[in-house]
Homo-oligomer: A and B are copies of this chain.
Amino acid sequence: MPIYNAPTKDMAFILHEVLKTQDLDIKGYDDLSADFTSQVLDEAGKLARDVFQPINASGDAEGCTLENGVLRTPTGFKEAFQTYREGGWNGLDCDPEYGGQGMPYVLHTAIAEIFCSANMALTMYPGLTHGAYSAIHAHGTDAQKQTYLPKMVDLEWSGTMNLTEPHCGTDLGLMRTKADPQSDGSYKISGQKIFISAGDNDMTDNVIHLVLAKIPGGPDGVKGISLFIVPKFMVNDDGSLGDRNGVSVGNIEEKMGIHGNATCVMNYDDATGYLLGTEHKGMRAMFTMMNEARLGVGMQGLAQAEAAYQNAVEYAKDRLQGRDVTGTKNPDGPADPLIVHPDIRRMLMNQKSFIEGSRAFTLWGAMMIDRAHGANEEAAEGLISLLTPVLKGFNTDIGYDMTVQAQQVFGGHGYIEEHGMSQFTRDARIAMIYEGANGVQALDLVGRKMPKDGGKHVMAFFEMIKTFASENKGDEAFEADFLTPLKEASKDLQSVMMYFMQAGMKNPNDALAGSTDALHMFGHVVLGLMWAQMAKTSMDALAAGTDDPEFYENKLITGRYYMQRWLPTTKAHMARAMSGSTNVMGLDADAF
């Protein structure tokens, strides 16, 4: 039976000692005292451990079922969802006007990691609802907000996002779902959507589908797409539920993981829909939620890595196998624990140093979103917009690899389902794909975000590193261990950017062929910066005197691991990214 304990101490360290949220002048941050957040994180941790995690493996084995049009989630999901609902967790960062608690997004993100580590499939039901809430909150009319938001904040109703169709995923311009205008101002929606996460459930009274569709006569391609609210049950004027709408679940997909979440084929047959936002501006409406949604998926990569890591550590300490070559560590036992072996350590340190760095990155990113939304700071908006594809692509690519390494620590016991290690990798795998496959993230980074506003945000990013380095120089060990490798990796990344600009001008493929390498370089440089910041914080804490010196010393050791064993990867990425596109594009398609 897998374990999970929320890493609340590490979260508090990032929030209060590294980011110093309590001192920042961002809307809602004055509420974030260390005492308060610790209490919230602890409560979430208990619920995750005691209620969400125990039904994670059983939910995977059981999956969802569809019989006579009725969708059933796995045993226990309904009760756990109800507990989550009653705890008000879904409304934590929602607008108080609609029943939310108005907390910052950064706290929501920490909490979301906890629940996602414990049970990703279950957490996706409120997760999708939260996304739909945000869209309606940002683009809905007052009447729409009054009708839908209080019940979605409260999780009486859930929500979904309907983009993909059988013949179009990334290329939404090919969309065929139609929205015919009706005389009463509503629309009749017809078409088929696939891969709809949390597409239906037996836990909420209504499901509010947000559906992208085309109004006939509108512009071609993505410029003619509009966004609609399509409730499963019609909503009467008094808020009570009316007839069933013309939307139904056609099928539940058999898939590699997240079996507890119903991935649905949704059929719309003259379903009544209501325009959300402006006609033909549906893509823009979706994009305003993009940074949050993608950060949320990046967090899933981190969350599955954390859950897998905790179990790998436990196993490595318990399982007796072989002897420490430098001297027996467990002389009274038949063998030493796995954790004495350097290659086992290597895997655990890979995971630990990535996870802690990635968590800092993710919470820093959430803070940037708070800054951008709460204070309309353009620079923060630019920076988080630049780094969103990195948050999504890097965290899920490496997060997945870390679940695979955690599984590897178990040997054969990692391959059987009994220990739950297979589930972590199978669940984590989807995060590399949905909300824009990671190749699309790389394209977004290199093709759109880097050149945006004349490269202003990229320059701001490098400036941030430079500033940190110049403000913190002077300590020889810190420079050698952290600043020098960070500056070098940052310089290498700049060389790649420069190469992309110059070579890409002549042949865009020279840049695009290296886009994934650039995304990964970016990720490592950001995590290098995060580790340098965490190391500095730790050194300062040690210098100031602390009653928990081990915590800070361990941070320094883990940070040095990142700088010495993860960061050199950038050299390989650089060589690849700057090798041009002839090697990638040289073959005729028929030669594959």
Contact = CB atoms under 8 A, between A and B. Distances in A.
Contact of A509 (B171, B325, B569): B325
B254 A418 contact: yes
B335 A174 contact: yes
Given A339-B589, A585-B342, A565 B576 contact: yes
A422 interface: yes
A442 B412 contact: no
A91 B557 CA distance: 55
Contacts of A583: 349, 557, 560-561, 564-565
B508 A322 contact: no
Interface range on chain A (Cβ under 8 Å from partner): 35 or more
A347 interface: yes
A169 B411 contact: yes
A168 B321 contact: yes
Contact of A415 (B325, B335, B429, B587): B429
Interface stretch (A45-53, A106-114, A242-250, A512-520): A512-520
Interface string A342-355: 11111111001000
Contacts of A168: 321
Interface stretch (A21-29, A369-377, A431-439): A431-439
A575 interface: yes
A334 interface: yes
Interface string A159-187: 00000100111110110000000000000
Given A174-B335, A572-B569, A589-B337, A442 B343 contact: yes
A3 to B, nearest CB: 13
A585 B345 contact: yes
A457 to B, nearest CB: 22
B412 A164 contact: yes
A568 B571 contact: yes
Contacts of A206: none
A224 to B, nearest CB: 14
A342 B515 contact: yes
Contacts of A570: 572
Contact of A513 (B345, B414, B568): B345
Contacts of A569: 572
A564 B579 contact: yes
A426 B417 CA distance: 12
A291 interface: no
Q: Count chain B CB atoms within 10 A of each CB in A411, A422, A438 and give the residue with the most.
A: A411
A313 interface: yes
Interface string A405-417: 0011001111111
Copies of this protein chain in the complex: 2
A138 to B, nearest CB: 25
A591 interface: yes
A558 interface: yes
A418 B251 CA distance: 13
A169 B411 CA distance: 8
Nearest to A258: B415
Contact of A422 (B256, B404, B418): B256
Interface string A109-126: 000000000000000000
Interface in A310-354: 313, 316-317, 320-322, 325-326, 334-335, 337, 339-349, 352
A513 B344 CA distance: 9
Interface in A419-453: 422, 425-426, 429-430, 432-434, 437-439, 442-443, 447
B592 A352 contact: yes
A355 to B, nearest CB: 11
A129 interface: no
Q: Give the 5 A-B CB pairs with smallest separation, nearest first.
A: A568-B575, A256-B422, A342-B512, A343-B439, A342-B513
Given A560-B583, A565-B576, 18 more contacts: A168-B321, A169-B411, A170-B322, A171-B320, A174-B335, A339-B592, A340-B589, A341-B439, A343-B516, A345-B513, A346-B513, A412-B433, A426-B426, A557-B586, A561-B584, A564-B583, A565-B579, A572-B572
22 contacts: A167-B320, A169-B411, A173-B335, A195-B412, A256-B417, A257-B415, A326-B508, A339-B589, A341-B439, A342-B512, A343-B439, A346-B516, A349-B583, A404-B429, A415-B433, A425-B429, A564-B579, A565-B584, A569-B572, A570-B572, A571-B572, A571-B575
